Amino acid sequence: MAALVGRSHSVVRRWLARADWPFSPSPPWDASEVLAWAGRTLAADPAKHWESPLPADPGQPGDARVNALMQQAKAQVFANRALLLRQEYEKRAGKLHDSVACEQMMIRRIHALKQSLLDVPRMGSGLEGLGGSAIEQALMERIVGILKLFAGEA
């Protein structure tokens, strides 16, 4: 019988155990009558629900797929709202900074570094009469000082 009506054996056994089973408890049964009874009495097979096309008006309440899509949309809205709240909290806590101001500060520091490095050759006028190692030492100290200034250590 299960093969004739397109259901599993366990489903047919449950049908036989129902109080509203209108047929004899033992076979033979007419498959068309059993299918007609199942169509009138039992709910649609939920396993086949996903195969049916979406309704023309997806706004119909009660459609499980539409409800699932609505739940996904609501979950995305809640996730976005949580992200915005977290960013606002971090901003108020001082964990975030103004990226434009930070970029402008870095550009000023880079220009200052560039200018300091360009000024190094002018330093040579005060190094006249010193030996090679003394000149090298003085230039190295000047360059290390510039780099420390740029790194924020000086």
The C-alpha atoms of residue 34 and residue 26 are separated, in whole angstroms, by 13
Same domain, yes or no: 85 and 122? no
Kindly tell me the number of DSSP H helices and DSSP E strands found in the chain.
Answer: 6, 0
Query: Exposed, middle or buried: residue 15 (CB in 10 Å: 0-12, 13-18, 19+)?
Result: buried
The C-alpha atoms of residue 120 and residue 124 are separated, in whole angstroms, by 7
Residue 121 resides in a domain: yes
Per-residue pLDDT of the chain (154 residues; tens, 9 = 90+): 777 777 888 888 888 888 888 888 777 888 888 888 888 877 766 666 555 555 555 555 556 777 888 889 999 999 999 999 998 888 888 888 788 888 998 898 888 888 888 887 777 666 777 777 887 887 888 888 888 877 876 5
Same domain, yes or no: 8 and 32? yes
Residue 57 resides in a domain: no
* Boundaries of domain holding 147: 99-151
The C-alpha atoms of residue 42 and residue 48 are separated, in whole angstroms, by 14
Residue 140 resides in a domain: yes
Same domain, yes or no: 115 and 147? yes
The C-alpha atoms of residue 22 and residue 27 are separated, in whole angstroms, by 13
Listed in sequence order, the residues at least 6 apart from 42 whose beta carbon sits closer than 8 Å to its beta carbon are 15
Same domain, yes or no: 34 and 7? yes
Nearest to 135 by CA among 146, 123, 147, 144: 123
**Three-state secondary structure of 64-111:** HHHHHHHHHHHHHHHHHHHHHHHHHHHHHCCCCCCHHHHHHHHHHHHH
Whole-model pTM: value is 0.35
